[in-house]
Structure formats: structure tokens, C-alpha cells
Amino acid sequence: MNIAKQRVAVLGGTSGIGYATAAAAAEQGAEVVVVSRDPERVRQAASRLGATGLAADLSDPPATLFDEIGPFDHLVYTAGEALTLMPVASIDPARAREFFGVRYFGALAAVRAALPHLRPGGSITLTTGTAGDRPSPGWSVASSICGAMDSLTRALAVELAPIRVNAVKPGVTRSPLWGDGEDVETLYATTAATVPLGRVGEVSDVAGAYLYLMGQPFTTGTILTVDGGALLA
């Protein structure tokens, strides 16, 4: 179950959960490629990790991106913009489509473009979220994306076998994606008070799930929840 000396491409790997996953894979001896939209963030992340860095628009990853990466073993897709609450009465359909653009259609395009370059025994690990199972008011778009990613994971696992396709489902996780400030700290505190384990997730907690799914050779179509038991509360 060790991924040492294997090649791992992390799309969305310059910050938050993606960066933590890239760092954890590098610590296990994997050769890591991080991809994100901002060239400067790519440069900084790659330098810190001792990894290869490539800049690309992940709302529609070009096929040439994977030509540059070359043959590799594991695709991890964590890219996504920070989600904004959208009550139905004031929903912005164009903005909603943008969220789907990166988180869903970007993932689907990345899988399609990556397939010719994935080595035998390779894997794809996508990202979903617990909002699909327990939505709150204003989360119709976010919940819909999570539900779509759950279904996409299972469908791809059937269609692409024997390539393994799984997903990680984080709960609320302390990450730059949420921003900072008093409102975010209130969110963390409020969430932690309802979670059986008494805290929100850390990016290192979630990164371990991606590594497990990359290294577990007999798991496909699985959506691994990492939420401290929040869905039980």
C-alpha cells in the first residue's frame, strides 16, 4: 500500500487539502506534480515540496497538461473555488455554473484527459463533501455539486475499471478555502460543538484519506467520509 516511487498528480495541489495531500505523498517517497491556476502559487508550492509544478485553468484542463506530466500512477483532483451560500430566492445561476465548472466539469475533463497517461494499476481520487448528505439552508448549489461528485465517482469506477476511482468526502475542514476572520472562526467553533470528536478537521486528517485510497489496491467506487462523525450528529 506504499506509493513510494510512484508519480502522483494533484490538481488543486497548491493550497489546503490538495497541498497537504501533495506533501503527504512526497513524504512517502512519491514523485509529485502539483497543478493550479496561479503560476506564482504553483512555483511556491513546488519549491516547498521539491515537486514539479504546472499552471493550468482547471475549469477545463487542456490535454496538453497531461502531455507535460507524462506517464503517472495517481490522479488526485481537489480543485475548487470557495463556495458561497446561495439562497434559492437570490441565486445567481451564472455563479452557480462557475462552481460546477471547476468542481464537477473540471474534474470530468481532467479524468478524460488523464486516461491515456495513467499507468496500469493506477487510480483516480476525486473530492466531494458532506453537504450532499446533510444540506443546510443556502447550500442547494454546494449540496448538488457534492451529490453529482458522489454519482460521478461510482459511474467512473464501473466504466474505467480496472482503473480504481474513489472520492474523499471531507466535513468542515480548517483550510484557506474558507478564508479567515471572525465569521470563519465562529463557523469552526459552531461546527466543532456538534461534531462527536469535538473539533473540525485539519487538512492533514483529510490528506491521509487520499493516501489510503491511492495505496489500497482493492478499493474502487468508494466514497471515504472524513468528518469527525458529523453526519452522525
CB neighbour class for 149 (10 Å; exposed up to 12, middle 13-18, buried from 19): buried
Query: What are the backbone angles phi and psi of residue 82, rounded to the nearest 5°?
Result: -60, 125
180 falls in which pLDDT band (50, 70, 90)? Answer: confident
**Residues 220, 183: contact at Cβ < 8 Å?**
no
Written as one string, the DSSP assignment of 167-220 is: EEEE-SEE-GGG--SHHHHHHHHHHHHHSTTSS-EEHHHHHHHHHHHHH-TT--
**Of 194, 203, 196, 195, nearest in space to 170 by CA:** 203
pLDDT of residue 220: 98
**Of 175, 167, 125, nearest in space to 146 by CA:** 167
pLDDT of residue 161: 98
Q: Could you give the domains of the chain?
A: 7-176+203-225 (3.40.50.720)
pLDDT of residue 204: 97
Q: Is the pLDDT of residue 1 over 80?
A: no
193 falls in which pLDDT band (50, 70, 90)? Answer: very high
**Of 179, 180, 195, nearest in space to 227 by CA:** 195
pLDDT of residue 114: 97
Q: Is the pLDDT of residue 117 over 90?
A: yes
pLDDT of residue 81: 80
Q: What is the pLDDT of residues 7-16, one digit of tens each?
A: 999 999 999 9
Q: What is the pLDDT of residues 136-170, one digit of tens each?
A: 899 899 999 999 999 999 999 999 999 999 999 99
pTM: 0.96
**Residues 196, 226: contact at Cβ < 8 Å?**
no
